[in-house]
Amino acid sequence: MSLVMDRASAQHGLRAGAIVLVVFGLFVLLGLAGIGFGSTWISLDKVLHVIFGGGEKSERLVVLQLRTPRVMAAAIAGAAIAFSGYLLQRITRNELASPGVLGVVDGAALGVVLFLALYSNESNALTVPVAWQPLAAATGALAAITLVFILSGRQASSAIRLILFGIAVAAVAKALTTIFMLIGPIYQAAQAARWLAGSVNAIGWSEIQIMAWALLPVTAIAGLLARELPPADLDDVSSRSIGLNLPVYRVAVFAVAALLTAIAVAFVGGVGFIGLIAPHLARLLVGRARFAGIVTSMMLGAMMLVGADLLVRVAFAPTEVPAGTVTAIVGAPYFLFLLMRKDKTNG
Amino acid sequence: MAELAPSRIEVRDLTLMYGHDTVLDALSLPVPAGKVTVLAGPNGCGKSTLLRAIRRLHQGQRGQILLDGVDIGALGAKDLARQIGLLAQSPSAPPDMSVEELVRLGRYPHQAMLQPWSEKDGAAVNRAMVGTGVDTLKHRRIGSLSGGQLQRAWIAMVLAQETDIICLDEPVNHLDMAHQLDCLDLVAKLNREAGRTIVLVLHDLNLAARYADQLVFVHEGRVRALGRPEELMTPELLAEVFEVDAAIMTDPVHGRPICIPRGRAKAKSVREIA
């Protein structure tokens, strides 16, 4: 009996591993397609040729300087936002939680708009290095999530309350963002609007480097924190009675999740719903397995943003529609679907 | 009130407020080593709160909880979790978590960042699952278990923690009679054979009297009375603490006191006036 059971659980592990591999394969294919497609089509073999050091000069320019940074930025940011969403969904024990719902994205947006308002000069240039922009976004995001926590007060352990206050704080941040864009000079508004919708079209290698270096330590800390997630899956009394310092742990996870999203959106803008959908799909695919869940979430998040960017390039060319519009158009109905399904299971 | 044994836990002047409501009012309580202490009392008397406070789970609780003479405020979260286990009143885990996964969480306080899962941890988990009879269910999902199976899985989780002191908050709630006995007999066995100190919150006074070495009546945030069940199961105390008018008899099978309520204590006085 138990032998059969153990084989079943081994098969379960194999299945999760196989799914991770398949998702990885799709991710690589999509990345290559993202580099190949555009105003001029570069076939996959040429793309690979360039990546391994060959190819014509013009192809090298398009592939290495224009398209690869775009795909890289989208992949890194999408993965970071998805990881953030994974952490939030686990720690709140609620599949509706996401960086967007908890006010993180709108808080970051407010931070960026304030930053642009304060540090731009009249020739539309920043008076401080662009490297400060993620710091502004992170500050905004952390301020928003801190406010959500303070407002929830004693009921911070109730996921529904957190989400309700998150939505409220997000709405206020959004309103303030709009006000600053309206009362600020017009060049800032244009710059801010492009950021708000979320797009990866103007990102170069230097920005990717900053983003990657900023994300690296935060991702490492998030990975370490994620090891303590299973005890936090239990109710508050149980998780604390087995020795998890839940109040401290919860704040740490929220802070790290907020930082992951803040750094990502600081560079690619307010792309929505990736943090909601990617971890949810990953859970459907690989179940509760933690490592597989995190890796799958990150790859799905990366694929979603790379795919959205690819779609806007192919479908709307030559107009540069922000990739964030695609993730929102796909994501919003998915959120509604989850809400309605939850209603059904509750009542 | 008889002295039973030296105290493992000594609760001193424990006070807890929720806003302006006093839930625990300078409550003091000894918990004797190697004995079964049962907390009983009417709804809202503070007995569950007291159990959680023993585990220092309430913010703003004042007073001292001494564990072997040392204030538990000095202990870290994991240190404390290696000494005192607590099964919450209505614990919850994700429905797609497996029984084994849940029981393994009981080893959490025994693990450190750089210390991987050991054979000792595995052995403790197996013992806990075999002892509660959930070893055959270990790959089942929590969401697919019956009430009795679920309760045993949670008890296994607390057992895997391998604490000397085990606190259980209304462990037989929602269980049928057979499963109530299964559960409490298991607890009694842990006490007798492994010498564990047990603290239970029970609603059913007859079960409380049957399993308790020390019975404690909690009333309005204080300990109203404590002692052996025979000392506490009196018509006067039951009328005062539980507001029931009850006859007390001796259980012919176990020799423990049992109560048979006639009605509410207040209803009787109304009848007398009429």
- Which of A90, A158, A242 should we substitute to test contact with B (largest number of B Cβ atoms within 10 Å)? A242
CATH number of A217's domain: 1.10.3470.10
Chain A hits for B52, CB-CB cut-off 8 Å, are 237
Work out the number of other CB atoms within 10 angstroms of the CB of residue B70.
11
CB contact under 8 A, B77 and A245: yes
Residue A220 confidence class, pLDDT cut points 50, 70, 90? very high
pLDDT of residue A156: 57
Per-residue pLDDT at A77 exceeds 90 = yes
pLDDT of residue B266: 66
Residue A4 confidence class, pLDDT cut points 50, 70, 90? very low
Burial classification of residue A279, based on how many CB atoms lie within 10 Å of its CB (0-12 exposed, 13-18 middle, 19 or more buried): buried
Mean pLDDT, rounded, for B216-244:
93
Residue A207 domain-assigned (yes or no) = yes
Cα–Cα nearest to A270, from A110, A129, A71: A110
The secondary element (H helix, E strand) that includes residue A24 is helix A2-36
Type of residue numbered A344: K
Type of residue numbered A308: A
pLDDT of residue B273: 47
Q: Helix (H, G, I), strand (E, B), or coil: what is residue A129?
A: coil
A240 touches chain B (CB under 8 A): yes
pLDDT of residue A196: 74
The span from the CA of B39 to the CA of B202, in Å, is: 6
Mean pLDDT, rounded, for A23-29:
91
Residue A159 confidence class, pLDDT cut points 50, 70, 90? low
Question: Least CA distance to A289: which residue of chain B?
Answer: B97
Q: Helix (H, G, I), strand (E, B), or coil: what is residue B261?
A: strand
CB contact under 8 A, B88 and A230: no
Residue A177 domain-assigned (yes or no) = yes
The span from the CA of A192 to the CA of A176, in Å, is: 13
Type of residue numbered B259: C
pLDDT of residue A60: 82
Task: Produce one character per residue of B223-252: b if its CB has 16 or more CB atoms within 10 Å, e if not.
Answer: bebbbbbeebbeeebbbebbebbbeeeeee
Per-residue pLDDT at A7 exceeds 70 = no
CB neighbour list of residue B217: distance below 8 Å, 6 or more residues apart: B40, B41, B223, B224, B225, B226, B232, B237, B241
Domain boundaries, given as residue ranges, for chain B: 7-232, 233-274
CB neighbour list of residue B188: distance below 8 Å, 6 or more residues apart: B36, B211
pLDDT of residue A39: 72
pLDDT of residue B92: 92
Residue B145 confidence class, pLDDT cut points 50, 70, 90? very high
The span from the CA of A43 to the CA of A27, in Å, is: 17
Q: List, as ranges, residues 111-170 from A with C-beta within 8 Å of B.
A: none
Residue A278 domain-assigned (yes or no) = yes
CB contact under 8 A, B94 and A241: no
CB contact under 8 A, B88 and A1: no
pLDDT of residue A326: 82
- Which of A229, A239, A241, A244 should we substitute to test contact with B (largest number of B Cβ atoms within 10 Å)? A241
Give the pLDDT confidence of A298-307 residue by residue, as tens digits. 999 999 999 9
Q: Which two tokens stand for residue B32?
A: 């004797």
CB contact under 8 A, A238 and B93: yes
Residue A142 domain-assigned (yes or no) = yes
Mean pLDDT, rounded, for B56-67:
87
CATH code for residues B7-232 = 3.40.50.300
The span from the CA of A42 to the CA of A46, in Å, is: 6
Per-residue pLDDT at A8 exceeds 70 = no
CB neighbour list of residue A97: distance below 8 Å, 6 or more residues apart: A85, A88, A89, A91, A159, A162, A163, A276
Residue A9 confidence class, pLDDT cut points 50, 70, 90? low
The share of chain A scoring above pLDDT 90, in percent, equals: 26
Cα–Cα nearest to B230, from B198, B245, B246, B208: B208
CB contact under 8 A, B105 and A234: yes
Residue A2 confidence class, pLDDT cut points 50, 70, 90? very low
Min Cα separation B22/chain A (Å): 18
Mean pLDDT, rounded, for A14-28:
88
The span from the CA of B62 to the CA of B113, in Å, is: 32
The span from the CA of B7 to the CA of B37, in Å, is: 11
On whether the CB atoms of residues B42 and B100 are closer than 8 A, the answer is no
Question: Least CA distance to B89: which residue of chain A?
Answer: A237
pLDDT of residue B182: 86
- Which of B16, B54, B57 should we substitute to test contact with A (largest number of A Cβ atoms within 10 Å)? B57
A242 touches chain B (CB under 8 A): yes
Q: Based on the structure, what is the number of domains in chain A? A: 1
On whether the CB atoms of residues A278 and A100 are closer than 8 A, the answer is no
**Half-sphere exposure (CA, 13 Å, Cβ side) for B206?**
17
Mean pLDDT, rounded, for B15-24:
87
Q: Helix (H, G, I), strand (E, B), or coil: what is residue B198?
A: strand
For the residues of A39-62, what is the DSSP string, one character each? SS---HHHHHHHHTT-S-HHHHII
Cα separation of the two ends of chain A: 37
The share of chain B scoring above pLDDT 90, in percent, equals: 62
Per-residue pLDDT at A254 exceeds 80 = yes
Strand partners, B21: B18
Residue A144 domain-assigned (yes or no) = yes
CB neighbour list of residue A32: distance below 8 Å, 6 or more residues apart: A44, A47, A48
Residue A148 domain-assigned (yes or no) = yes
pLDDT of residue B239: 92
Structural domain of residue A262, as residue ranges? 71-346
Task: Find the helix packing angle between A159-183 and A132-152, rounded to 10°.
Answer: 140
Give the pLDDT confidence of A273-293 residue by residue, as tens digits. 899 999 999 998 998 888 899
pLDDT of residue A240: 92
On whether the CB atoms of residues A35 and A68 are closer than 8 A, the answer is yes
Across the interface, of A1, A242, A287, the residue whose CB is closest to B108 is: A242
